[in-house]
Homo-oligomer: A and B are copies of this chain.
């Protein structure tokens, strides 16, 4: 066989009957932290990949689709962005996007897995792009729930970059009424809570819909939005929640004015992209309109 044949593959099984295989160009790291299995790989199409417990977390080629969507719709909609809180986000790219906003005076990031933070600094410096060295960054290695209980701060935006509450996953207990109340207690009056919120794929909308239903009991405005993230092989959803601000309705001029204040250039997000993110197809709206069970 030709010597150029690829012979190491990373496979992701996103259903028992569906497998995506990426040829591995290089393995930078493969091992375990105290919390999870970690691999840092490189592929031809996606560049570097961070893989946690066998799930792609982000790829160099399209992580901006995910991180700009997670961060900027919320920030563009909030007036007082001096203090921002990130739950999770170990790779540092969420931190990077927040700190591109010169209105942010301090960004606190709480991630339980300090080893992932160190691996990301070493192998994925493109993700944080210097953000860990920004004097406005406050990185806390610890339990996000504990932090919410203990901390007395108030944040204009709270961003949850935690894994979604799949049954039997360690994130399952992170998603319930008590946690929502703890997060609300940390928001400023005009503040927004935004979270990554599982897939919006046609065959698996139920977890996202349950998350949205549950949050509606706690916040006045709860807006789902989503985009296709190629490295996830899926449409990926987010939810913006607030008692004061309807993020879905933030105006184009406000958004573009906000984007112009950011350091560096956006790759994905601006007012037109915002319109795309929040305009949901019929089948998604129908799934979101259905009744069903809640996270307690």
Seen from chain A, the residues whose Cβ lies within 8 Å of a Cβ on chain B are 1, 3, 5-27, 30, 37, 39, 43-45, 51, 53-55, 61-62, 65, 201-203, 227-228, 230, 233-235, 266-270, 272-273, 275-276, 279-283, 285
Contact = CB atoms under 8 A, between A and B. Distances in A.
Contacts of A22: 17-18
Nearest to A7: B54
A107 to B, nearest CB: 23
B203 A45 contact: yes
Given A51-B7, A276-B279, A279-B272, A21 B18 contact: yes
A203 B61 contact: yes
A14 B24 CA distance: 15
A234 to B, nearest CB: 8
Contacts of A269: 281-282
Nearest to A29: B27
A209 B293 CA distance: 45
A31 B233 CA distance: 29
Nearest to A26: B30
A22 B43 CA distance: 19
Given A65-B202, A269-B281, A275-B276, 7 more contacts: A1-B16, A7-B39, A8-B39, A18-B43, A230-B234, A269-B282, A272-B280
A282 B276 contact: no
Contacts of A61: 202-203
B13 A1 contact: yes
Nearest to A37: B3
Contacts of A202: 61-62, 65, 230
Nearest to A52: B3
Nearest to A266: B282
22 contacts: A1-B16, A1-B54, A1-B55, A3-B54, A5-B13, A5-B54, A6-B16, A8-B24, A8-B27, A9-B11, A9-B19, A15-B44, A16-B23, A17-B25, A27-B30, A65-B202, A65-B281, A227-B281, A267-B282, A272-B281, A273-B281, A279-B279
